Amino acid sequence: MNEETFKVRAYGFGELAQLYFPNITKKSASCQLRKWIFANRKMTFNLIKIGYKTNTRLLSPAQVKVIILELGEP
């Protein structure tokens, strides 16, 4: 079991993506996370409501919370 608990805070998009996909490059991880976001209409809608855009590079704590509510903690 992971001793550290996931902390909801602002994350760079690539930084969060690498937490979900630790065994691939940052660029590939970002592409994969974006695919997951846009494949989930509810998550996409909720993120856009709070300011998410396709080219977002910094995720606010509220946006991170939306992502982990849908995907679970990385």
Examine residue 6 and state whether it is found in any structural domain, yes or no. no
Residue 61 pLDDT more than 80? yes
Average pLDDT over residues 46-55: 94
pLDDT tens profile 18-44: 999 999 999 999 999 999 999 999 999
Examine residue 59 and state whether it is found in any structural domain, yes or no. yes
Counted domains in the chain: 1
Q: CA angle 36-12-33, nearest 5°? A: 10
Examine residue 46 and state whether it is found in any structural domain, yes or no. yes
Residue 10 pLDDT more than 80? yes
DSSP class of residue 55 equals T
Examine residue 62 and state whether it is found in any structural domain, yes or no. yes
Q: What's the pTM value of the predicted model, to 2 decimals?
A: 0.90
Res 54: pLDDT: 87
Examine residue 3 and state whether it is found in any structural domain, yes or no. no
Domain that holds residue 60: 11-71
Mean pLDDT of the chain: 94
Alpha-carbon gap, residue 66 to 63, rounded angstroms? 5
Percentages helix, strand, coil for the chain (3-state, rounded to 5) are 55, 5, 40
